Structure 1
Amino acid sequence: MAPPRSLAGAAIAATAAAIVLSCLFYRRKCARLAARVREVEASLAVAAEKVAAERRGRVRAQQSLRRALSQQESRSDEARPAKAAAPASYPLAPIGTVQSCFSTRNGTPRQPLVVTLARATVALDPARVPAAALEGLASYSHCWILYVFHLNTDLDKLWKDPARSKLKAKVRVPRLKGGKMGVLATRSPHRPNPIGLSVAKVEAVDGHALLLSGVDLVDGTPVLDIKPYLPYSDSVKGAAVPNWLEVDGALAVESVHFSEHFMSALSTCWTHVQQQSLYASADEFQDLIKQVLSWDIRSISQRTRPHQVSMEADANGHCGEDTEDDHRDAGRCGVVYHLHLEGIDVSYRIDQGSNIVVKDATLLPDVVQKRHGYLAWRDKLGSSVL
């Protein structure tokens, strides 16, 4: 029997021999891999040079073709009158739609943040904008909305046949009582490109929907973009405006009152719209009406002609003194104006002293509101009060 020391020495020798052989095999394998890598690198270098040569040849061919075409066009242009190059166009598609408390243009504020209770939901198109795109917007107090004046009556002509669409260089300005001003010096919706820009307060964000307040947007407005409002850059200290814009209350009315009949009619209408309304109660909705009508929302022609008609009627004895309870004779004894909010037709009258009496409230026919109502937003708003 071999002594233990001899067996240990033999084991060590065998292990050492195995290690030496492994190192030799590893070195040979590394050498083969290194040679293969060099072959691949050389092959890639040849391929890259071939691609670069093809690219250089293609670029030279394109340059030669452009020069030839340019020379041919220049020779052809000598035989015909010069023609203006077609302007570049930049097609834009809406990313969402406004679901507003204002059912029609009439009554929609002329400027944002004037009616603080004016609310709207912007519903983004999930096919174009993921919900994650709104992440972080709730941390801002306000945002900018870029949109299309989609209710302009000349849009088809403007887009389909621009040559026949003649821009009106000057438009009538409500604050100037019909006086005209250059369209680019106003906020008129009838512009060379019917794009609007509004600032609004961010109330809440939920998935693909954004709740705003202080809006001047009509229901159905296509939204092109949303940007956060940055006070340090978007608010200009010492900014100047023309004198006619510095007149406070130029379009403000003297008073807004509600008839008893209106109060009863609104209570009836509210039971039909409250589930989809952006307002918590009929009282809050009435506050919205008062804010909207605190400014004379009538057009220039409406503000000038109706009083003449009313005065002539009074002189001829056809109309008696208007009372709050006599809402049924409103159409016979003067002009009744209408304001459409949240699917409700609000009718009112205004006298020569700019005092408004809200007469009636009726449901608009075929109005279907499919949107986030106040109840859907309530939990998202938390402790904040709309």
Structure 2
Amino acid sequence: MMEIHPIAYFHSPFTSKFGIPRQSGVVPEVEGEIVFCKPYDNPVAVRGIENFDYVWLIWGFSGNPGSSGNSIQETAFDDGRDDTVHLSVRPPRLGGNERVGVFASRSPFRPNGLGLSCVRLKEAKKGRLVVLGADLMDGTPIYDVKPYITYADAYPGARSGFVDAAEWQPLAVVFPKELQQGFSEADIKAISGALSQDPRPHYHKDSPRIYGMPFRGKDIRFRICDNKVEITDII
């Protein structure tokens, strides 16, 4: 068995899983930092990375039950048939009602709890990288960083399975000016972008309840009605 350990940890304005964009790049305004652990905090480890626009992150779903920030463990799944092995999932893109195979999805519940994200590199600093568009929670362990290479990693026109067939329309977001105080323009765009993706669990789609999304130490309170998100308060 191979044992792997974090080479870095991610710092994000999203301090819980709720509200995090479901895919990297969906909300490009979200800014975060990759902070390297010793000995990888040495500038030699990232020499030349500033010449790339995007990087791949291999990371761990540390917020899932049974996961660990220091090692990869098998995660138990519930597909209604087995308590330990989960072979199918219900993607939000399909309304949470239709199942596809776990390996035909990007569900966060993986057999080995590993995530893969492509993020835009904004800046390389000593011992850290500033990136945009990540779909990672604050404190997420990073297991590897690799540069994105266009000729090898991009396949324009490739089929995307059920994603091609299931049209996704972002929700309109109403963010009152009086509630925007204390947030930067980038943060306002990041909050609005995240909420436009409808972070509610699929089984809450008909609920008029008030939700709270943690962001930079504050609780963004909102409700959704008629395909519109209304931010009601900032706690």
Instruction: Provide TM-score, normalisation by structure 1.
Output: 0.55
Question: Which has the larger share of strand?
Answer: 2
TM-score, with length taken from structure 2:
0.89
1:177 and 2:95 equivalent? Answer: yes
Residues 1:159 and 1:216: Cα distance change in structure 2 (over 3 Å)? closer
Secondary structure in 2 aligned to 1:151?
A: coil
Pair 160,340 (structure 1): closer, same or farther in 2 beyond 3 Å: closer
Equivalent residue, structure 2, for 1:291: 193
Contact 2:73–2:113 (CA under 8 A) maintained in structure 1: no
Give the counterpart of 1:252 among 146, 170, 195. Answer: 170
**Counterpart code for 2:170:** A
Instruction: Kindly report the root-mean-square deviation, in angstroms, between the aligned alpha carbons of the 2 structures.
Output: 2.2
Contact 1:117 1:213 in 2 (8 A): yes
Matched residues in 2 for 1:201 and 1:289: separation? 18
Query: What is the one-letter code of the residue matched to 1:232?
Result: Y
Does 1:108 pair with 2:27? no
Residue in 1 aligned with 2:126? 207
1:336 aligns with 2:219: no
Indicate conservation of the 8 Å contact 2:74/2:112, yes or no.
no
Displacement of 1:126 in angstroms is 2.3
Please show how residues 21-170 of structure 1 align to structure 2 within 5 Å.
Answer: 89-155=1-67, 159=73, 166-170=84-88
CA deviation profile, 1:83-117 (whole Å, cap 9, x unmatched): xxxxxx10000001000121111110111111010
Query: Which of 99, 102, 105 pairs up with 1:186?
Result: 105
Cα drift, residue 130 of structure 1: 2.3
Deviation at 1:207, TM superposition (A): 0.6
Cα deviation, 1:310-346, whole Å, max 9, x if unaligned, reads xxxxxxxxxxxxxxxxxxxxxxxx4101111111111
Q: Give me the whole-angstrom Cα distance separating, in 1, the residues matched to 2:234 and 2:59.
A: 30
Alpha-carbon distance between aligned partners in 1 of 2:40 and 2:47, rounded to the nearest angstrom:
15
Structure 2 letter corresponding to 1:223: I
- What's the CA shift string for 1:210-238, capped at 9, x where partnerless? 00001111100000000000000001243
8 Å CA contact 1:107–1:339 kept in 2: the answer is yes
* Identity between Structure 1 and Structure 2 (%): 27
Match in the other structure for 1:354: 227
1:200 is paired with a residue whose SS is: strand
Q: Which residue of 1 aligns with 2:178?
A: 264
Point out 4+ residue stretches in structure 1 off by more than 4 angstroms.
Answer: none
The letter for the 1-side match of 2:139 is: G
Instruction: Give distance in 2, aligned partners of 1:235 and 1:160.
Output: 30
**Match of residue 160 from structure 2:** 241
- The answer for the alignment partner of 1:229 in structure 2 is 148
Q: Compare the two structures and name the one with the higher helix fraction.
A: 1
Whole-angstrom distance in 1 between the partners of 2:47 and 2:198: 38
Cα 1:195–1:349, aligned 2, differ >3 Å: closer, same or farther? Answer: same
Name which one, 1 or 2, has greater alpha-carbon Rg: 1
Q: Matched residue of 1:159: which SS?
A: coil
CA distance in 1, matches of 2:137, 2:169: 20
SS at structure 2 position matched to 1:287: helix
Q: Which runs of 5+ in 1 are unaligned?
A: 1-88, 271-280, 307-333, 363-386
Contact 2:41 2:126 in 1 (8 A): no
| Aligned AA (2:212) | H
Residue 250 (structure 1) shift: 1.7
CA shift for structure 1 position 166: 1.1
Residue 201 of structure 1 deviates from its aligned partner by: 0.3
Q: Tell me, in whole angstroms, the C-alpha distance in 1 between the residues paired with 2:127 and 2:153.
A: 26
Alignment coverage as a number of residue pairs: 226
- Structure 1 pair 161–148 and aligned structure 2 pair: CA distance change class (3 A): closer
**Alpha carbons of 1:187 and 1:264: their partners in 2 closer, same or farther (altered >3 Å)?**
same
- Please state how far the C-alpha of 1:131 moved relative to its aligned partner: 2.3
Partner amino acid, structure 1, of 2:233: D
Q: Secondary structure at the match of 2:160?
A: coil
SS of structure 1 residue aligned to 2:65? coil
Equivalent residue letter for 1:295: Q
- Residues 1:345 and 2:222 aligned together: no
Match of 2:79 in 1: none
